[in-house]
Amino acid sequence: MAAGTELTPTSYIQHHLTFLAKPVGEGDFWTLHVDTFVTTLILGVVCFGFLWLVTRKASAGVPSKTQAFVELCVEFVNNQVKGIYHGSSALVAPIALTTFVLVVFMNAMDFLPVDIVAKALGAAGVHEYRLVPTADVNTTFALALSVFALMIFYSIKVKGLGGWLHELVSAPFGLKPLWMSPLLVLFNLMFQVVEYVSKPLSHSLRLYGNMYAGEIIFLLLGLWASTGVVGALFGGVLNLGWAIFHILIVLLQAYIFMMLTIVYLAMAEEHH
C-alpha cells in the first residue's frame, strides 16, 4: 500500500483484491488487467517450456522421474478423453492437457504469500498486483469462451453449417406434427439459446468462484494472524490447514474445467 495510508481490515483486503489495471480505451470494458496478463504469460512459458524440455530429453529406455511424471499426466488426460470423446479430431486430447496444466498452474499461484510478494513488488514500484489469474473473471470467461468457440467450430465441421442450423431449430422437441412446427421451432430455439449461454457461464463462474473464495479465505486468516500472539497462533494453524485443503481445490477445479471441456467438445459432435 502507499506510504502513510492507515491500514484497516477493509483497506488490507481491498488492496490485495485490486488489479493492476491499465485503460486501453474509453469505458471500464476497455481496461487491461496487466497483472493477470503478465502472470498468465509467465506461467504459460514456464509450464509449457518445462513440458517441451522434458519431451526433448525423453528416451525410450528407463525414464527419469520427471519424464515418468509427465508421461503419467499425459496418459491420465488421454484416458479421460478416450472415455468421453469418440470423434475423429486428434486435437481434443492436447486441448484438454493444455487446459488442465495451465489452470493448475494459475490456481496454484494462490499458495504464494501475498504480503511478502506485495512488499517485493512495492519495492519495485508496483503497489497493486493480484497473483491468481483464475480469481479474475476475465480469465475464466476467456478460457470458457475459447472452449465455446471450439465447440461451435467442431459442431459445424462435423454436421455442416446447414446441419448445425437445422439442429438449432429442431432439437430437442422435433418439428412434428407439422401444424405445430412454428411453435416447436420457437421452443427449440429458446431451449438451444439457454443451453448455449449456460455452458460458458457455468464453465467460467465455477472456477472463478472457487478460486476467488479461496483467495478471500487466505486474506481473512492473514488478518486474524495480525491481531496478536493468540491470533497469530490460531491463524497460522488454520492457514496451514486451509493451504493443505486448498491443494485439493486447486487440482479438483482444474480437473473439472478440463472434463467439462472434453464433454462440451464431445457433445458438439453428437447428432440429435
- Residues classed as catalytic: 202, 206, 210
What are phi and psi for residue 23, nearest 5 degrees?
-65, 135
- The residues near 128 (Cβ < 8 Å, ≥ 6 apart) are 15, 18, 19, 20, 21, 35
Round to whole Å and give the CA distance between 146 and 223: 37
Measured CA distances, 178 to 49, 89, 172, 173, 227 (Å): 58, 37, 15, 12, 72
96-101 own/partner pairs: CB under 8 Å, 24+ apart: 96/258, 96/261, 96/262, 97/73, 98/48, 99/143, 99/147, 99/254, 99/257, 99/258, 99/261, 100/254, 100/255, 100/257, 100/258, 101/47, 101/48, 101/51, 101/73
Among candidates 110, 157, 114, 151, which has minimal Cα distance to 134?
Answer: 110
H or E element at residue 22: strand 21-23
Integer Cα distance of 172 and 119 in angstroms: 56
Q: Rounded distance, CA 143 to CA 98, Å?
A: 11
Cell of 28: 471500464
Rounded distance between C-alpha atoms, residue 29 and residue 156, angstroms: 30
